[in-house]
Amino acid sequence: MASAVLLVRPYPGLEVYRGEKILYGRLAEPHLTISTCRVNGGLREDLLFVANHQSCEPKPCPGHESKRCLAARDPEAYHRLVCEYHGLPPERTALLGTAANMTLAALAEESFPLPGTDERLLVFCAATAGVETNAGRAGDPAQVCEWEGGFSRLEPAGTINLLLFVNQELAPCALVRAVKTATEAKTAVLQELNVPSRYSSGLATGTGTDQIAISAKKTGRVPLRGAGKHVKLGELLARAVKQAVREALARQNKRTPETIRYVPRLLERFGLGEEAFFKGLARHLPEPHLSWLERNRKAVLSDTRLVAAVLAYVHLLDQRAWGVLPADVREPLLEQAALVTVALSGKADRFSAYREGLSVVEDPLELLLKALALGFREKWQVPYFRFA
């Protein structure tokens, strides 16, 4: 049996452990649990453990690209083998699976004093998160079809898994509402970090394999029935989830406000990640300017004014896709593209000339690339600098 280390006791009745590729909560006192687990999932009162296990690497290892791991082929066998290896009773364990590294899991706790008592309402969250391969936006084209107990295809998985624990009793309706609140909080983080869908040009709202388990301690008191935005429990749930997911994404994917403050990273959901970005830019930016920009990419393409201008341009594209702006938004896009050129060149007095020069480009993404190329060329068109 594999060993595990006690990480923390958030409240009496809960112990959180980490072992070899696993993180789990031991429910030392009765809890009511809701989970998305394919084995022992749904609403349960008899669970002793709620666990999160790393079933594979985020990207397939060489020679194993076409092989589906046991977690996908036979979830019951996977559940049994993992539980037995770690000494957890299979019939009384809810087990989430992921490709995320358990040592990169993030822990967060939020609490609030209960009126008229010396107790606190406490929410504890343990999150693992990976969004590099499988992030998607609700409504994107599906990657699998389930029918008669089988799946037609499974994709490599990035996953956000949430283990949540509450030290007060929740009614079943509150547990269901807590799942909704936690999901909204997760989605808020993805939008704040501009996580791209891997299946469309939209911002991701989750991944295709996200899982969640929420356990609420049975105290014998009147159970809480509210877990939405207007009650304190909902606030604590959302804050704990946001803190844990944000930290987990920073650890697993190095995705932070600082790392996304870079033009190619903001454009990757439009097919313009760094490699494609410079390949596209080469259509509009001749040498030696292209080589200069490539050598100085981080300094130039992380400039605050430029990032702000590009974000505004992307916002227009999103608003058009969502129908807030009509499909024909040629003039606003053209004006914002000229502002992108101004932000890079630093020559605000040239706005009208930039707008006119860019007007020959029809495609919105080509327009943005040309605006960036023009801005970088203009940046060095000054009297004291002469090109060889």
CATH of the domain at 199: 3.60.70
Provide the mean pLDDT of the chain. Answer: 90
Q: Do 22 and 111 share a domain, yes or no?
A: yes
Domain with 124, as residue range(s), is 4-253
User: In the prediction, which pLDDT does 101 show?
Assistant: 93
Q: Do 194 and 288 share a domain, yes or no?
A: no
Q: Do 336 and 199 share a domain, yes or no?
A: no
Side-chain half-sphere CA neighbours of 191 within 13 A: 12
User: In the prediction, which pLDDT does 357 show?
Assistant: 95
What's the rounded Cα separation, in Å, for the pair 27 and 165?
Answer: 10
Q: pTM for this structure?
A: 0.89
Domain end among 253, 287, 312: 253
Domain end among 229, 253, 277: 253
User: In the prediction, which pLDDT does 65 show?
Assistant: 47
Choose among 233, 107, 256: nearest CA to 174. 233
**Contact predicate 274/294, CB 8 Å:** no
**Contact predicate 52/105, CB 8 Å:** yes
Domain end among 199, 234, 253: 253
**Residue 80 falls within a domain, yes or no?**
yes
User: In the prediction, which pLDDT does 276 show?
Assistant: 97
Instruction: For the chain, 388 residues long, give each residue's pLDDT as a single digit of tens.
Output: 779 999 999 999 999 999 999 999 999 999 999 999 999 999 999 999 999 999 876 665 555 444 456 656 688 999 999 999 999 999 999 999 998 999 999 999 999 999 889 999 999 999 999 887 777 777 777 666 565 556 555 444 578 999 999 999 999 999 999 999 999 999 999 999 999 998 899 999 998 889 999 999 999 999 999 999 999 999 999 999 999 999 999 999 999 999 999 999 999 999 999 999 999 999 999 999 999 999 999 999 999 999 999 999 999 999 999 999 999 999 999 999 999 999 999 999 999 999 999 999 999 999 999 999 999 999 987 655 554 4
What's the rounded Cα separation, in Å, for the pair 20 and 275?
Answer: 36
Q: Do 246 and 293 share a domain, yes or no?
A: no
What's the rounded Cα separation, in Å, for the pair 49 and 109?
Answer: 19
**Residue 159 falls within a domain, yes or no?**
yes
User: In the prediction, which pLDDT does 61 show?
Assistant: 52
Q: Do 87 and 230 share a domain, yes or no?
A: yes
What's the rounded Cα separation, in Å, for the pair 10 and 270?
Answer: 43
